[in-house]
Amino acid sequence: MAISLSKGQTINLSKATTDGGEQGLTHVRLGLGWDTKKVEKKGLFGGSKVVQKSIDLDASALLIGGGQVQDTVYFRQLRSKDGSLQHTGDNLTGRGDGDDESIVVDLTAVHPAVEHIVFTVNSYSGQTFAEVDNAYVRVVDSSAGDAELARYTLTGSGPHTALVMAKVSRTTQGWQLTALGTAGNGRTVQQLAPLALQAV
């Protein structure tokens, strides 16, 4: 059963084995999703209809080591230089059910210099998160049929245009995931680098 995370909560990315031990996860997928708010539009003759805006949110990952951003994965660079992260593609509207954008991570292939992978979502189209509902990040075990391990759902909205959603950090016990939900401003992942560095 998946763990529902609260802000600041950390889980170890490990799973139970049949002999009762623990085995580190090797391949995970971080799915990010959101919905645009539905608004009622009044017509000229007293009628109304519910419409849903298109908001272009972008999921990105910043690979951090030695206090610096070593690499970035986003809609213009879909694969990390070491090949360990793969962005599955850009969603320009946020419409549809399920994950809107995903980033697949091969934890065994992450460059040894990378200590943290910080996952962000920014509004490329410039609208604020006051127009977004149901933003979440979830981690699934992509080597086990996309079994969901943990989910962090953001509550509330506001005048910010970006969120640092979560980070995956290398520890002596393996990788661990921390839910963050830190609000910020920026239309591109490059503008979010200072906020991502603060998160580690």
pTM: 0.84
List the single range of 39-53, 104-118, 136-150 with lowest mean pLDDT: 39-53
- Residue ranges per domain, the chain? 3-13+25-36+55-198
Task: Tell me the CA distances in angstroms from 85 to 39, 42, 82, one per residue in order.
Answer: 36, 45, 8
Most confident of 2-6, 46-50, 67-71: 67-71
Cα 136 to its chain centre, rounded Å, is 7
CATH fold of the domain at 3-13+25-36+55-198: Lipoxygenase-1 (2.60.60)
Mean predicted lDDT score pLDDT of the chain: 84
Is 126's pLDDT higher than 70? yes
Which residues on neighbouring strands pair with residue 186, listed in sequence order?
none
Name the more confident of 20 and 187: 187
